[in-house]
Amino acid sequence: MTDRLQALSEAGVSIWLDDLSRELTETGALASLVVDDHVVGVTSNPTIFASAMKEGERYEGQLDELVGSDEQTTVADAIFELTTTDVREAAHILRGVWGETLGTDGRVSLEVDPTLAYDTDMTIATAKKLWDKVGEPNVFIKIPATREGLPAIAATIAEGISVNVTLLFSVDRYREVMDAYAYGLEQADANGIDLSSIYSVASVFVSRIDSEVDKRLDDIGTSEAVALKGKTGIANSRLAYAAYEEFFGSERWAALEAKGANRQRPLWASTGVKNPDYPDTMYVSELVAPGVVNTMPGATLKAFKDHGEVHGDTLTGTAEEAQQVLTSLAEVGVDYDDVMLTLESEGVEKFESSWADLVRTVQDQLTAARTRRG
């Protein structure tokens, strides 16, 4: 039987799982994915934690301890302790991969409170707090690529903290993210920090772009518009990859690389297909090149394992064709810049909503823990 995930890995794609729960870490399921399915990283977000904690039972013991040690434990305290514990345990499981890849993979990502997405100073402070609490070298702190997030990314990198830049949509914003990363490294170097110890990925979202653009194309309704459905997410990612090649081929980067700096790898996020009419592995097969990361929800990982195909490098040299897709969008009346602004705003709102759901879930569990104690 063909090992399709191994073929993807051998093509240079780092396979990460977009899921994290105590169920995965405590049952050995995550360890099995590492051994059997070539998974070399994990990403998490408020939605994932909210879903995991609704199951509740595996978190009861720690909640009881928190309530028992301090009756004034707040929901924020509990979320901080529960999520950092999950990330720490996953980091332990992936520590071997981290060592084997010399720090490139074996990473677990933990996001700052999304309600801080427009607060630079609090994002920086929270990133430091999370990094220190987890206390593992193979962790990424996730910071959103909002306008206010850019200086937070640079400042966090300057402190020697590895960062996963999230909620990234437009190619122009991606260029700003790479600039912020380089500036952070330059500041870290000035602070005497070993640049080889700092790593980063930039998470470019894919399927959400098609969802938004396809809706607008359906509203336009012409045959030319409808023919463009399902093409923008991949085209945008391919243009982002071209921007990546350009930036990391620059003289500025060469100077940093000479000092030991690591490239900020592009990571394809939101790779679960939302339209059932599309192939369920298209956001994996069509975004392959050496040195990229693809973080997949469990269903997408299973789908690729079952029937995914690797066609070699599907990113290098594709910028011209990808740009034609964006040109055609403009010709039928889709405003690309407005799409990207909408997605960023809605992305923050969705994560804030998930965070509120997480707060409600943990509040209920804290109440239950206090009832058990009483």
Candidates 142, 231, 259, 305; catalytic one: 142
How far apart, in whole angstroms, are the C-alpha atoms of residue 356 and residue 97?
Answer: 34
Residue 169 has what pLDDT? Answer: 98
pLDDT at 372: 86
Sole residue written with tokens 């060592």: 99
Contact 86, 25 (CB under 8 A): yes
Model pLDDT, residue 56 = 64
pLDDT at 1: 55
CA distances from 123 to 141, 156, 195, 236, 334 (A): 10, 9, 22, 27, 33
Residue 125: partners with Cβ closer than 8 Å, 6 or more residues away:
none
pLDDT at 214: 98
Nearest alpha carbon to residue 315 among 342, 284, 337, 338: 284
Task: Identify the pLDDT of residue 3.
Answer: 96
Beta bridge partners of 17: 42, 296
Distances (CA, A) of 232 to 293, 303, 323, 328: 19, 22, 10, 10
The answer to whether residue 142 is catalytic is: yes
Instruction: Report the candidate in 43, 52, 36 with the shortest Cα–Cα distance to residue 4.
Output: 36
What integer pLDDT is reported at residue 345 of this predicted model?
A: 97
What DSSP designation does 115 have? Answer: G
For the chain, list residues with pLDDT below 50.
Answer: none
Per-residue pLDDT of 60-82, as tens digits, reads 999 999 998 777 899 999 999 99
